[in-house]
Amino acid sequence: MKRKRKITRDARVDKRQKTDAPLNAQPTWPLLRHYYPEVNTLRHYLVSKLSGSKKRQRKLLHYGRSNRVSPSTVHDQAVIRLLDEIVIGTAEKLESIDAESLEEDITIFTQQLSRSECTISPTQGSLSQAEIVDFAIWLLFKRHQGLHRPSHLLAHGFSKFAGGPNSGEHWGVVPGVPGLWSSGSNRHVEALKAHPWAAIPRLLGKGADAILSDLLLRCGVFESVSQSNNLSQMSGPPLCDLKPFPQPERTSKRASAAAGIAKRSISDIRFIRHRMLYAKPGLNERAQPVGLGRAHVLSRDLDVDDEQQTVHVLKYIFPRQFDLHNVFTSSRDSSI
């Protein structure tokens, strides 16, 4: 009978830890999905645009994630965070980029720059990140018909015409964007031109100017606010100007039971003022008012950092969204 070899701890093979987070751990961005049918991180958006080159897709997909990295390869941590934290919202099903039309616009843009004595990158057919941002702003005003600026975050602070002497603002010619005037700096434009955004065109390679300009022109770009789960928009049409697209309604037992009840409009809902605004306050043992009673939800759920308590309070404020009894779709129970 063969004896088993003793396996020392040094001889054991440690399992390789997975670097990619599971799919269910990724954020879902429920609010953005009301306005954008497709919401992805910057990494996955750019990978989808490199469909013609699987090699470049793998390079971008595994940038900063692969364990097998040669000593000569150095990954920028700021670029890695940018790829995984920036959120891209696509407002509609975008058609493929018209390469010929875009190339013509880039040619016109570079010709107008040469006339205005501005320099451009020496590589023919490729633009730097700063030039891509300037080209996107120039193309926004070129396509926009009207005296007012386009409804786009990158257009804030720019105009085709300088303000008059009584406008109260100092207008100056925009270097790098021919035919436009500026009344001040645009922090979104400055952020998109700086590092780590400046490293994205080189990471994408050929066709980066077309991919990134299309991203800035037609998509919503959101960055995460430090130390929170909130997002701040930095490019694209303002979210307040977008209309939410129809969402498939959820079916539940309460919803199916109230299917025969017509939805009430705001004018059909009665607000009883003497109950809402003039209710008697809670009193303590000395008959002194103490505000909300002990049974009130705001007196019971006091931890603002507790997610379960926050959701419980939201059920009282937005009962319809949780399929609870509400004044819009529920019938009146006369027994109460």
> What is the reported pLDDT for 68?
55
C-alpha 43/C-alpha 87 separation (Å) is 9
Query: Which amino acid belongs to residue 154?
Result: L
pLDDT of residue 18 exceeding 60: no
Of 302, 325, 203, whose CA–CA distance to 253 is shortest? 325
Higher pLDDT among residues 293 and 201, named by residue: 201
Residue 186 reports pLDDT greater than 90: yes
Our separate counts of H helices and E strands in the chain read 12, 9
Whether the ω angle into residue 238 lies within 30 degrees of 0, i.e. cis, is no
CA distances from 109 to 93, 137, 188, 202, 210 (A): 27, 11, 21, 21, 14
Residue 11 pLDDT grade (very low, low, confident, very high; cuts 50, 70, 90): very low
Of 137-146, 170-179, 180-189, the one with minimum mean pLDDT is: 170-179
d(CA 59, CA 70): 14
More confident position, 125 or 49: 49
Residue 204 pLDDT level (bands cut at 50, 70, 90): very high
Edge-to-edge strand list for the sheet holding 231-235: 38-41, 87-90, 219-224, 231-235
Task: Categorize the per-residue pLDDT at 115 as very low, low, confident or very high, splitting at 50, 70 and 90.
Answer: low
Q: Are 179 and 112 a contacting pair, CB within 8 Å?
A: yes
Mean pLDDT of the chain: 79
Lowest mean pLDDT among 123-137, 146-160, 237-251: 237-251
The answer to whether the beta carbons of residues 160 and 152 sit under 8 Å apart is no
Q: How confident is the model at residue 305 (pLDDT cuts 50, 70, 90)?
A: confident
The residue extents of the domains of the chain are 28-99+124-157+187-241, 253-322
Per-residue pLDDT at 52: 79
Residue type, 121: S
Half-sphere exposure of 282 (CA within 13 A, CB side): 9
The string of pLDDT tens digits covering residues 249-294 is: 555 555 445 455 567 777 777 777 766 677 677 777 888 877 777 7
Report pLDDT digits (tens) over 55-100: 999 999 999 886 655 555 678 999 999 999 999 999 766 566 677 8
pLDDT at 13: 42
pLDDT at 155 (0 to 100) = 94
Cβ contact 120:131 at 8 Å = yes
Residue 152 one-letter amino acid: H
The rounded percent of the chain whose pLDDT value lies above 90 is: 30
Question: Residue 238 — pLDDT band, cuts 50, 70, 90?
Answer: very high
* Whether 235 contacts 220, CB under 8 Å: yes
pLDDT-based confidence at residue 23 (cuts at 50, 70, 90) = very low
**Integer Cα distance of 244 and 159 in angstroms:** 29
Evaluate whether 255 touches 326 at the Cβ level (below 8 Å). no
Question: Which run of H or E residues covers position 291?
Answer: strand 289-291
CB-CB neighbours of 237 under 10 Å: 19
Region of poorest pLDDT, from 71-85, 110-124, 222-236: 110-124
Confidence of residue 179 (pLDDT cuts 50, 70, 90): confident
Element (H, E) at 56: helix 54-61
